[in-house]
């Protein structure tokens, strides 16, 4: 995908680092076996993080970084998840995460049955394929209320983020809140789309926008690198060019965020 020339002149170093990370995202796990639950769950989170980073990059190089904030929120959510899953009693946490797959599948089937027109297009449906496992998991975790079924960790995202060994409370409060407003079209997100620079006129911002690119893409890279580090640890695979990435990221971060404490 062609990078907008105007944006490339200003942000080429960020774009280059992101492209390098994306290109190398799968290389280090080639030949590695995801032969444990811990590795399987971690691999899923890492692959999704790599895809989210690439999607954020593709939007950013077209001047649509504000729109990619929705994806950045997903990436932060994912980072909180995998950090929480791999801390403390990780065996039980990972097991619960895996068990809850059947809960969501069962709820999805029940929803389709409630709105049954779709079954006209499906042949030989097995409505009860997940019933036995659903009852087992429900009993195992003492799930009683409807809300319990949607809470795979037994905690809210905020509770997971503020866990002492996760320590992402600040990121949740500062970043997640703002990004949630963008995703849910909150009133405070309106100004991101209106141009009031010309006195007496208010116009909708359109076309290529030089907004939020460093904020979004550098933050996305930061979360991605943290998730990648967790994956290296779980798979016991070295990161040979880690120092190179740290040096490049630190240099670029200092260039765009002179006081980086204000950003994250």
pLDDT in tens, 138-193: 999 999 988 899 899 999 999 999 999 999 999 999 999 888 888 888 887 887 77
DSSP run (H or E) holding 203:
strand 203-204
Distance CA 92, CA 239 (A): 28
Helix (H, G, I), strand (E, B) or coil at 195: strand
The residue whose two tokens read 């849910």 is 184
pLDDT in tens, the chain (264 residues): 677 888 999 999 999 999 999 999 978 777 889 999 999 999 999 999 999 999 999 999 999 999 999 999 999 999 999 999 999 999 999 999 999 999 999 888 888 777 766 555 555 567 778 899 999 999 999 999 888 998 999 999 999 999 999 999 999 999 998 888 888 888 878 877 777 666 767 777 766 788 899 999 999 999 999 999 999 999 999 999 999 999 999 999 999 987 544 443
CB-based contacts of 134: which residues, under 8 Å, 6+ apart? 102, 103, 106
User: CA 232 → CA 32, 226, 238, 259, distances in Å?
Assistant: 11, 10, 6, 30
Q: What are the backbone dihedrals phi and psi of residue 242, each rounded to the nearest 5 degrees, phi first?
A: -60, -45
Query: What predicted TM-score, i.e. pTM, was given to this entire model?
Result: 0.88
CB-based contacts of 213: which residues, under 8 Å, 6+ apart? 7, 11, 14, 60, 63, 65
The residue whose two tokens read 């709820």 is 107
Q: Cβ distance 215 to 256 under 8 Å?
A: no
């Amino acid at each position: 995908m062609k990078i907008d020339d105007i944006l490339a002149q200003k942000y080429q170093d960020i774009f280059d680092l992101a492209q390098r990370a994306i290109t190398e995202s799968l290389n280090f796990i080639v030949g590695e076996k995801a032969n444990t639950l811990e590795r399987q769950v971690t691999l899923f989170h890492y692959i999704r993080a790599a895809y989210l980073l690439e999607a954020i990059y593709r939007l950013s190089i077209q001047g649509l970084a504000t729109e990619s904030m929705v994806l950045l929120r997903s990436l932060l959510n994912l980072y909180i998840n995998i950090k929480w899953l791999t801390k403390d009693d990780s065996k039980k946490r990972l097991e619960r995460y895996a068990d809850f797959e059947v809960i969501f599948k069962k709820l999805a089937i029940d929803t389709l049955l409630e709105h049954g027109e779709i079954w006209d297009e499906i042949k030989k449906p097995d409505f009860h394929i997940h019933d036995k496992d659903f009852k087992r998991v429900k009993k195992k975790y003492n799930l009683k209320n409807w809300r319990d079924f949607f809470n795979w960790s037994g905690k809210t995202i905020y509770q997971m983020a503020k866990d002492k060994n996760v320590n992402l409370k600040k990121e949740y409060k500062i970043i997640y809140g703002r990004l949630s407003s963008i995703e849910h079209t909150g009133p405070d997100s309106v100004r991101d789309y209106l141009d009031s620079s010309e006195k007496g006129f208010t116009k909708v911002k359109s076309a290529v926008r030089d907004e939020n690119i460093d904020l979004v893409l550098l933050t996305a890279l930061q979360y991605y690198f943290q998730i990648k580090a967790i994956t290296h640890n779980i798979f016991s695979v070295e990161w040979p060019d880690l120092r190179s990435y740290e040096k490049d990221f630190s240099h670029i971060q200092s260039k765009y965020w002179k006081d980086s404490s204000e950003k994250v």
